[in-house]
């Protein structure tokens, strides 16, 4: 009876994942899961966690609502993992209170801007194999990036070979605008589509006129072939 009573008295938020260590830091709960060979985010992280370290693991994806129950979370370290995919709602529920988010040294090539632009946290995105594109440019312009690591956001791939290997900030400072490139591509595609429809209409009109002209000619030839009324009278 005493055992079950003890279980009931212990709040669920105070439990600790078996692969992690829970401790106090400045009166706030810190959950330390560094270098534990984790392949996904633990499901049983205490709800009152303020600091969460998941660095140096083998996590490959941040799914939607992964931290939604951690309303007190202020610092989140996901650096030195193998993260390739981040869902749009990956940080839903912690966007308001999160102060620091470290995604450096992963395998991230692209990221939905919606996942980061809702955050007020200071972001570390360095040392990832980024594909320089409009979404990444918008993150760089609008998100709150850590100034000490922004120079290490490098173009691993890009629309033009000359940008590869260069810091994204340097490329943008040179006057490159990946969003305007995308807009021009969209405009060209729309122009080609409209031209195609216009050409189809013109061809249809020409065929219609030509077909009607043929019918008219056949009708005239038929009328000419009929015996005239004057000939019958004679």
Report the alpha-carbon distance of residue 155 to residue 91 in Å, rounded: 25
Q: Which domain holds residue 194?
A: 180-206
Residue 185 has pLDDT above 70, yes or no: no
Q: How far is CA 88 from the centre of its chain?
A: 7
Report the alpha-carbon distance of residue 207 to residue 97 in Å, rounded: 67
Residue 179 has pLDDT above 50, yes or no: yes
50: phi then psi, degrees, rounded to nearest 5:
-110, -35
Residue 104 has pLDDT above 60, yes or no: yes
Region 208-225 average pLDDT: 66
pLDDT score recorded for residue 68 = 94
Region 152-175 average pLDDT: 95
Mean pLDDT over each residue of the chain, to the nearest integer: 83
Q: Which of 103, 129, 155 lies at the terminal end of a domain, its last residue?
A: 129
pLDDT score recorded for residue 222 = 62
pLDDT score recorded for residue 197 = 61
The verdict on 31 and 118 lying in the same domain is yes
pLDDT score recorded for residue 206 = 76
Of 9-18, 138-147, 148-157, the range with the highest mean pLDDT is 148-157
The verdict on 108 and 188 lying in the same domain is no
The verdict on 107 and 191 lying in the same domain is no
Q: How far is CA 130 from the centre of its chain?
A: 12
Q: Read off the CATH number of the domain in which 80 is found.
A: 3.80.10.10
């Amino acid at each position: 009876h005493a055992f079950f009573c003890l279980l009931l008295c212990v709040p669920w938020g105070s439990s600790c994942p078996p692969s992690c260590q829970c401790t106090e830091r400045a009166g706030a709960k810190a959950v330390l899961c560094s270098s534990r060979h984790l392949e996904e985010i633990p499901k049983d992280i205490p709800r009152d966690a303020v600091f969460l370290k998941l660095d140096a693991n083998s996590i490959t994806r941040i799914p939607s609502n992964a931290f939604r129950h951690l309303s007190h979370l202020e610092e989140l370290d996901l650096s030195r993992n193998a993260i390739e995919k981040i869902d749009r709602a990956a940080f839903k529920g912690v966007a308001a209170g999160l102060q620091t988010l470290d995604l450096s040294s992963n395998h991230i090539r692209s990221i939905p801007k919606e996942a980061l632009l809702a955050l007020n946290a200071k972001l570390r995105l360095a040392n990832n194999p980024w594909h320089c594109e409009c979404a990444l440019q918008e993150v760089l312009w609008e998100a709150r990036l850590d100034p000490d690591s922004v120079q290490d956001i490098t173009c691993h791939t890009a629309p033009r070979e000359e940008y590869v290997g260069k810091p994204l900030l340097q490329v943008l400072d040179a006057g490159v605008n990946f969003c305007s490139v995308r807009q021009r591509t969209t405009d060209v595609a729309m122009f080609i589509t409209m031209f195609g429809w216009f050409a189809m209409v013109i061809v249809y009109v020409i065929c219609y006129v030509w077909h009607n002209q043929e019918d008219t000619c056949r009708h005239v030839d038929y009328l000419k072939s009929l015996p005239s009324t004057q000939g019958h009278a004679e």
